Amino acid sequence: MTANRFEIAAPKWNGGKRCVGLNAARLNCDMVEVDIQYKDKLGVRVFPKILNMSSTKVKTYPIQVVGGGVRLHIVPIADLTEKSINSQAITKPDKVCHACGGQEFYTRPVGQWGSEEELCCRCHPKPEEGV
């Protein structure tokens, strides 16, 4: 899973909501990480954790065009999550059929010596027993 990190100096105020502007040209990944560097008057970071969101969800937010024609998706900070990107990782199955993409397999005996072959349930439906 690929992720692009955005380092934001300070959030935008958009109608009373704190938001961040994420460059639309950099959304060529699965996830975005947002690291907001903004500090309060005591020097403490207001948003100490890295926030994230899927890039497909970011693309649903409105666009604002800023200097130089840069297109920014304006995302409310409240909509970003603190979940670890590793916990959102897509797990791949142990085995996949190369013909149809099926993920369930069964074994059947072959020959008289007790050898077995593994067949995909989608390509080769398992015969009903007792027929």
Q: What are the boundaries of each domain within the chain?
A: 3-88, 92-131
Write down the residue that tokens 């027929």 correspond to: 131
For the cut 50, the answer to whether the pLDDT of residue 16 exceeds it is: yes
CA atoms within 13 A on the CB side of 92: 6
pLDDT of residue 122: 76
- Classify the phi-psi angles of 101: left when phi > 0, otherwise alpha if psi is within -120 to 50, otherwise beta: left
The reported pTM is: 0.60
pLDDT of residue 76: 92
